[in-house]
Amino acid sequence: MKKILKYLKGYYIQSILAPTFKMLEAIFELLVPLAVAAIIDKGINATPSPDKGTVFAMCGVMVALGVIGLVSAICAQYFAARAAVGVATRVRSELFSHIQSFSYKVTDNIGTSTLITRMTGDVNSMQTGVNMFLRLFMRSPFIVFGSMIMAFTISKKLSLIFLAVILVLLVVVFGIMLISIPIYKKSQAKLDRVVGKIRENYNGTRVVRAFNKEKDEIEEFDSRNSALTKIQLFAGRISALMNPLTYVIINLAIIFLIQRGALSVDAGEISQGELLALYNYMSQILVELIKLASLIITLNKASASSKRVFDIIDAPSDVERQTTETNIDDGNAVSFKNVSFRYHEGGDEAVTGISFSANKGETIGIIGGTGSGKSTLVNLIPAFYAPTSGNVFINGKNASLYDKNELNSLFGVVAQKAILFKGTIRSNLLWGKNDATEEELWNALSLAQAEEFVKEKGLDGEVEQGGNNFSGGQKQRLTIARALVKRPEFLILDDSASALDYATESRLRAAISSLDYNPTVFIISQRASSIMHADKIIVLDDGNVVGMGKHKDLLDTCEIYKEIYRSQFSEGGASL
């Protein structure tokens, strides 16, 4: 609750007005049984004949109390809704901003499906909880204890029934609450797994269909969904006990109250109207405890959700990075010093003992079999991941010591999977440089061999979500253009030309090698032809460097490189 309070800043007035208006409504509601008692005792039972004036007057008072209570309830609802929406908006905004600051490592550890669930369902649950809390947290207890106090003013003896009932109900309500909170937490965790499966299938729907795995995926989803359903049903059964238990307890109390009250009326201790007022107060307690039970269930869910949300907000953006060296003076653009990395604690190392250097303006080719650690290696250069051991140096400074924005400004990265965002071609290219001129955009498109097909759509041509209205090769060229607009000091191409034909790729390599600002280029490729002209080629196998040098030297000294080359080229040197 303390953490939510800071998000109420700016909504303090609404947070005060909402329960205040609810209190007013409660006060007017507590006065209604007194008006009913007056109608019976002073109106209907008046002697020698019923007093119609009193009856009509009290009826008018009841109507007025109802109207004022309705207006108060509407005002309370309005202010509570404004405060709740404001809190949810701020939490969602901060959560999204914080997620954007997460390193690759933290994102991998938490999981994308978990982040999506907490951004949507959990924040919505928090919003509902705040709304209900502001509306009912004072009203329901006020009515319950107010009814008991009003009962004391009528009959101290009979009011003891109210006191006993309230104590029993508090035990029931809070007992169920304590049992259900951990169950809702488990329920939300299982919801993460269901969302993860949905997301996985949505992203890989073509693969699922291509391998005819729909039945297997449905079974897996049903298994996860069944686990979620079971725990939600269990939580629902626990929560469902609230209403029948409160009904039973209150109705037994009403029976006892009427029986004891009838004896008191017969003994002349209270009037018929006062007994009816006591009955009405007991009924009000029943209604409010049902509302309170609903509120507690909602707050349980909101509490579980808020903990999950704040676990993300409080999570560090990156794991703590430890460096053994801060700077080196070797004159290289990039230096790896005995670098090893594993994705998960206790897991196998993805790369082991990597050491190499790249001079400014050099082109470094990286090649190896699938899973050899190529992408891992280049992700360590811009510090997307921190080495498990060893150090990476950029322009002589340890990469872990750079400010994130400063380091990002040095790199243009084209990821293995071409990602475009909904908008226009222009808006996607401007990710590379916000203030790029039209000439700079077209120049980047020309270098990336994308100018021809972009001219058909124009820079303001639509880009659908994920770039689904472009082919694989077109998306790759647009992502390369996006990186080139930035004119980065370091350009990383992570297998970013795999969907291009050999002729287009050859023109792209020639264009990059002719750049006037001479960046340091890292090219990952499965094709030997893509990296054979690089200044230095690094050959990886199972996370280890098994060869390093120029193309001709590696053909003589590195068996793995030779196998890759021969599998792609004929003996005469022509591509197969």
HEC profile for 419-433?
CCCCEEHHHHHCCCC
- Please tell me the predicted confidence (pLDDT) of residue 249: 82
Is residue 380 within 8 Å of residue 499, measured between CB atoms? no
Residue 462 DSSP label: E
Which burial class, exposed, middle or buried, applies to 72 when counting CB atoms under 10 A from its CB (0-12, 13-18, 19+)? Answer: buried
- pLDDT tens string, the chain, 576 residues long: the values are 577 878 888 888 898 899 889 888 888 888 888 888 788 877 777 667 777 888 888 888 888 988 988 999 899 999 999 999 999 999 999 999 888 888 888 888 887 777 888 888 889 989 998 998 888 887 878 888 888 888 888 888 887 887 888 788 778 877 877 777 778 778 877 877 887 787 777 767 777 777 787 888 888 888 888 888 888 888 777 777 777 887 788 788 888 888 888 888 888 788 888 888 888 887 787 777 777 777 877 887 788 788 888 888 888 877 666 666 677 877 889 999 999 998 887 778 899 999 999 999 999 999 988 888 999 999 999 988 888 888 999 999 998 888 888 888 899 999 888 889 999 999 999 998 899 999 999 999 999 999 989 998 899 999 998 888 899 899 999 999 999 999 999 999 998 888 888 888 889 889 998 888 889 999 998 888 889 899 999 999 999 999 999 999 999 899 999 998 988 876 544 454
Is residue 522 within 8 Å of residue 493, measured between CB atoms? yes
pTM across the whole model: 0.71
Domain ranges of the chain: 2-313, 334-568
- Please tell me the predicted confidence (pLDDT) of residue 406: 87
- Please tell me the predicted confidence (pLDDT) of residue 323: 61
* Cα distances (Å, whole numbers) of residue 113 to 108, 192, 193, 262, 408: 11, 6, 7, 62, 26
Q: How far apart are the first and last CA of the chain?
A: 67
Contacts of 553 (CB under 8 A, 6+ apart): none
Crossing angle, helix 123-136 and helix 12-38, to 10 degrees?
40
SS3 384: coil
- Please tell me the predicted confidence (pLDDT) of residue 418: 87
Q: What is the helix (H) or strand (E) element at residue 392, kind and residue range?
A: strand 389-394
Strands lying side by side in the sheet with 389-394: 351-358, 334-341, 389-394, 397-398
Q: Which CATH number fits domain 2-313: 1.20.140.10, 3.40.190.10, 3.40.710.10, 1.20.1560.10?
A: 1.20.1560.10
Gyration radius (Cα) of the chain, Å = 36
Sole residue written with tokens 């299982």: 190
Topology of the domain comprising 334-568: Rossmann fold (3.40.50)
Q: Of the candidates 396, 371, 399, 364, which has an alpha carbon nearest to the alpha carbon of residue 512?
A: 364
- Please tell me the predicted confidence (pLDDT) of residue 491: 94
Is residue 207 within 8 Å of residue 327, measured between CB atoms? no
Structure tokens at 92: 């969602």
| DSSP per position, 522-561 | EEE-S-HHHHTTSSEEEEEETTEEEEEE-HHHHHHH-HHH
How many residues are present in the chain?
576
Q: Of the candidates 365, 410, 404, which has an alpha carbon nearest to the alpha carbon of residue 517?
A: 410
Sole residue written with tokens 């579980």: 304
- Please tell me the predicted confidence (pLDDT) of residue 1: 59
Q: What is the helix (H) or strand (E) element at residue 295, kind and residue range?
A: helix 272-313
Contacts of 200 (CB under 8 A, 6+ apart): 113
| DSSP per position, 72-118 | HHHHHHHHHHHHHHHHHHHHHHHHHHHHHT--HHHHHHH-HHHHHHI
CA distance 344 to 109: 8
Torsion of CA 475, 480, 483, 489, to 10 degrees: 160
